[in-house]
Homo-oligomer: A and B are copies of this chain.
Amino acid sequence: MNTVLHKGRFLTLIKEGHWEYAERANATGAAIIVAVTDERTVVLVEQYRIPVHARTLEFPAGLIGDEPGQNGEAHADAARRELIEETGFDAERMDILTHGPACSGLGSEVVTLFRASGLRRVGNGGGVDKEDITVHEVPLDGVDAWLEAKGKDGVLVDPKVYAGLYFIQRAAT
């Protein structure tokens, strides 16, 4: 038994059995892009996130099918478009690493992690509209210390960053 408790513009609050969860109104999922340059740097984005009231460090990411006319677009195309918008990097290849729930207790969102390779700078990034994104290129050799220093500055590191680093490391061995 599925009850809509509230239908917001972007999120719907749903009650199903004894469980409550949030569902996005206009997205079928989210793409997260683990991008590594030929110089062995990893591309991360820093931005202020209203829900957690803090700056966060994450991989570039975007909703899939969140803009009019983009429902059903291929996930890899969406991932590539988001990478360009947020970071200014285009990618020759987008390979799926894994997909799974971001917060299976409170939201229906399933994210797909892509590995982007063959990177080429085609713009400045920074996002569209109200997005205010700082792009970081962090040498893989030293990324742990860099993230730790950011954490000490009060920036919240999305745990999925470490998931991406796991796949990068696995591919390198």
Contact = CB atoms under 8 A, between A and B. Distances in A.
A72 interface: no
A147 B15 CA distance: 30
A103 interface: yes
Contact of A163 (B8, B17, B162): B162
Contact of A21 (B11, B110, B161, B170): B11
Contacts of A157: 98, 100
B98 A151 contact: yes
Contact of A24 (B23, B30, B106, B108): B106
Interface string A99-115: 11111111111110100
Question: Which 9 A-B residue pairings sit nearest by Cβ, starting from the closest?
Answer: A6-B6, A21-B51, A162-B163, A166-B166, A22-B22, A103-B103, A19-B50, A49-B104, A102-B103
11 contacts: A5-B8, A16-B50, A19-B50, A22-B107, A32-B159, A51-B106, A101-B156, A102-B102, A103-B107, A162-B166, A166-B166
Interface of A: 5-6, 8-11, 13, 15-24, 30, 32, 49-54, 56, 58, 63, 98-111, 113, 130, 144, 151, 156-163, 165-167, 169-170
